[in-house]
Amino acid sequence: MMPVVHCPKCGKDHDLNQDVLIAQSNQNVIYRCDSCGFEVKDIQTSKG
Ligand SMILES: [Zn+2]
């Protein structure tokens, strides 16, 4: 099961998959809502 993020801007739920996640050079990733373009940084991942 993919984790789901709730967009605080448009209120939609999106699966945290590689379509919406942008990997950073560090362990953080950025989630970009494809509905409104809102970005959430520093998402906590299960890695490490
Ligand atoms: Zn959104």
- pTM value is 0.54
Report the 3 state secondary structure along the chain.
Answer: CCCEEECCCCCCEEECCCCCEEECCCCCEEEECCCCCCEECCCCCCCC
CA 26 / ligand 1 centre spacing (Å): 24
What spacing in Å lies between the alpha carbon of 32 and ligand 1's midpoint? Answer: 8
Residue 7 CA, ligand 1 centroid: distance in Å: 5
**pLDDT by residue for the chain (48 residues), tens digit each?**
778 888 889 999 888 777 667 777 777 777 788 889 988 776 665 655
Ligand 1 centroid distance, CA of 37 (Å): 6
